[in-house]
Structure formats: structure tokens, C-alpha cells
Structure 1
């Protein structure tokens, strides 16, 4: 596992990260963040890591920019885990086109935010892909989502970040299942869907129960 004893791990993103962390499931949420924390803590209690969830439902990169100084840089992370982009795409398919974020703006904004965090804190980055739980790669929203995922892959290389291929994880599962096995709306996972995300994160982080 790449985390070292005493480090501070901060997750930031949209509703997939939030997952009730500000109310009924405070402070970690009931989704993948909580699962990653629980499994790493159970396997490696001696590391005494600090975990912080700063997801907010509905966020795009524009929203992250507004709160980045407080919720990302201000948390002084050793590791900053960012998964954002689903709403940037989705808004364009739900009658809220003015709130959708074009892919060029998405890339430039996310690059600026990551640069600011690394410069200010020296943190390492973990970047998760935006995804759509849809097996047809020609379906318009899925095709658009893949363009944003390609941005994250490029930025992961650029920043020497840990890359979490969440779309690939769902695609492997969809070879044997249907989208509704994982989410009612192709976006917000049920518990198995969050477990799949957690598994993707743990694999990328090099986690093993006894290592």
C-alpha cells in the first residue's frame, strides 16, 4: 500500500463521493470512501491514517474551484483523491446545458486546481475517472463521458498521479450484468456499485489485506 503512517487522505468530488457525509452518514458517507477507509483501517490499524471526505452532491469543476482553497488546499492533504466530471457531462443531457462544462474548460480548470494543490501542499494525487454505467460506447452520453475520462488519464500522467480507472471497472462488470444491477440511473451506485468503486481504488493504491 502506498499510504504511510500518519498521513492525511482527503477525498473530494461530487455526490458519488459525498454519499450522505454531510448528514445521515457523517462524516465519511455511505459509499466508496467509507469502504476504502474501513478496509484499509482494518488491515493496517498501525498506520493511524486520517481520512477526510469533502464531496458535495451536484458539483462540477466550476463548483470545486469555488471551494478548492478551503476544502482541498486548506485540508493540508498528504494524498488528495479527486473524482469529478460526471455532472459536467450529465447536465448537458438533462436540460441544463448552461451548467454543463465543455471538455476544454473541464481540462483547464482541473489542471489549474491540481497544480494549485500540489504547489501549496506538496500532496500526491489520486485521480478517478468520471464514468457512466452504460455498456454501449456509442451512446451519446457514454461517448461524451469517455472524452472526459481521457482528460483524467492525461492529467494522471502529467502529475505522476495514481490513476483509478473506474469506467473500466464498470465495463468489466457490465460484460456479465446490466446497468441497473449497479445503479438505477447509470450514475449513482447502489452498495455493490460503491463496492466496485472501492475495489478499483484499492487496487490502484496497491492495497492488500496483509501488505
Structure 2
């Protein structure tokens, strides 16, 4: 372990909030909570805050979450944002990556170790999103350069094939499921050199039989009706799933110890909504 962390603050959107690892009733756990638990096992005095709010674009993360994060004087910060920018019609890679770089500069300047992420290619999860591939590549290249300039630890999700394995994603294809959140937490723990940590993103899942073209078409149609349609409607109305919401852990406190999941079939059904 290359550092001792007493104050961990997570910034971002719904992935860091923890959707869909849990639900609205029990609460959302997510990779950041899972990472905080692993950190607390090494450093019991760890205090953890999660400022992430679903639906936020990079500029909103910077404006709304960065000042609070700096006031908490963290020694470890994770910053995962940009997917909501990528999905907007008027995406600007320079602007989105610039907001991330401003956060990197401010946080590292305050003495924190910062962990950041690139994004998987959305087109590998949603065939209809082929137009987003070039956007993702441009954004990721800029994030890599910004991370290099500021000494930020980068978890490069775009280079791991498993990151676009649909078994790590919820039915909406925008949010990780419990398996995905677990693997991402393990990857960040490995990047931080935590004891007994393994980079699970390097381990592929067992091969699956490819569905027939008719079955794939049916899956795409159900996805479009259940998730893409409602998401597009909210965008047209200027609404977001994050409207009126605030951070789930706005102040530093010991990480919550979550109970082990119920192994019975159907017990882990998640509340899946669009917007990250």
C-alpha cells in the first residue's frame, strides 16, 4: 500500500452514487462504498464522504461537488464523470475533459491522491450508439493527458474488454450491476496497492453462446422501449433523474458496513433507471 488514507471523498454521477447496486428502499452501495469498506479494513480510522449525484455532467460535478470536497481536506479522492456529457447532443470533449482537469489540479494541489477513469465505448454496449465511439476516444485521450500532467492515478476502463461485457451492466446498459460495481471496486483497490487486492478487470467471464439475430433484435427493441424512450423524453423535457437530489453521504463518516446479499433467486432485483 503506497499511502495511508484517513479521509476519502468520492465525486461523480450515478455510477459513484452506486446505482444499480441496491435500490431506493435499501439504499445504493456501489463501487465507491465497496472501496471505502476495503480501505477501512486496512485503516479503521478512515472517514468517507460520497458527494456523487445521478445525472450530473462534468461541469456540475466541478461546480457542486469540488468546493465541498476541498473543504473536507481529503487525502484520497476518486473522480468519475463524463458519461452524461458524452450522451448530450452538444457534447464538447474539450470542455468536459477541461472540467475534469480543473478538478485534478485543485485536488492534487491540496495534497490529495486522485484516482480518475476513462470510459468504455458505449457503442460496444448499445449498437445504436455507434456515433458515440469517436466522442469516447477523444474524451478518453484528453483525460489520459490531464491525468498524466497532474500525477493522477488512472483506471483506464476503455482498455479492458470485460468493461463492455453486458453481464457487468444493468438492463439499462448505463449503470453497472452488483457484479460490475464489485469488479470496479477491486480494480481501484488494486490501483491503490491495497493488500490482497486483485485487478478483476483483467479476468474475463466465461464465454457465452451468442443469441440468434431474432433474439438480439427482440432484446434491442425491449431496451429501446423500456430505457431509451423514457430517457429521450426526459431529455426533451429538460429533466434529469437527479433533479432535486443531493449527495447520499455529504459529510465524512465511517464507511457503512453493508450486509451480505441474499442469495435466493429474485432477492437482488435492482431499481434500474436511466441517467448516470
For the aligned pair, the TM-score class normalised by the smaller chain equals 0.7 to 0.9
CA contact 2:93–2:138 (8 Å) conserved in 1: yes
Give secondary structure in 2 for the equivalent of 1:139: helix
Matches of 1:182 and 1:150, distance apart in 2: 24
Higher relative contact order (CA 8 A, sep 6+): 2
Whole-angstrom CA distance in 2 between matches of 1:118 and 1:88: 23
Match of 2:150 in 1: 159
Q: What's the counterpart of residue 118 of structure 2? A: 129
Is 1:149 equivalent to 2:133 in the alignment? Answer: no
TM-score normalized with structure 1 length: 0.78
Alignment of 1:93-108 (within 5 A): 97=90, 100=91, 102-108=92-98
Q: Which digits, 9 at most, give the CA deviation of each residue in 1:42-72, with x for residues without a partner?
A: 3x2x452212111110111121232145332
Structure with greater Cα Rg: 2
So what's the TM-score if we normalise by structure 2?
A: 0.61
**Hey, what's the Cα distance between the residues in 1 that align with 2:190 and 2:135?**
26
1:189 partnered with 2:206: no
Match of 1:71 in 2: 68
Give the Cα separation in 1 of the matches to 2:178 and 2:54: 17
Distance 2:123 2:183 in 1: 15
Q: Distance in 1 between matches of 2:2 and 2:179?
A: 25
> In structure 1, what is the Cα distance between the partners aligned to 2:181 and 2:57?
20
5+ long unaligned stretches in structure 1: none
How many corresponding residue pairs? 192
Q: Aligned residue for 1:2?
A: 2
Does structure 1 residue 30 correspond to structure 2 residue 22? no
Change beyond 3 A, Cα 1:160–1:25 = farther
Please report how far the alpha carbon of residue 128 of structure 1 lies from its aligned counterpart in structure 2 after TM superposition.
1.7
